[in-house]
Amino acid sequence: MRRSSYSVPTNLAEGNVKYSSKDQIRFIDIAAGSLEELHYQYLLSMELGFLSQEEQEKLDSKIQRVGFLLARLRASLR
């Protein structure tokens, strides 16, 4: 989960220095993939009983928000 979570901003940072919109969008897509990996891992952790309901609600809200922001960033570059 740590790898997936830090992969999101790391890919955004790397994409930020690319000159073409196409390259920037590619790194945003990679970040979105990492976010989806994190979402799956958190759902699995919840099923296995490692997360409380409160933790689950906080994480779900944050993941949805970041996903929304990534989609808006991607749309702004198209």
- Note down pLDDT in tens along the chain; length 78 residues: 999 999 999 999 999 999 899 999 999 999 999 999 999 999 999 999 998 888 888 999 999 999 999 999 999 998
Residue 57 dihedral angles phi and psi, to the nearest 5° = -65, -40
1.10.357.10, 1.10.1740.10, 3.20.20.370, 1.20.1440.60: which CATH number matches 2-77?
A: 1.20.1440.60
Stated pTM of the model: 0.89
Q: Delimit the domains of the chain by residue range.
A: 2-77
Distance (Å, rounded) from C-alpha 30 to C-alpha 50? Answer: 27
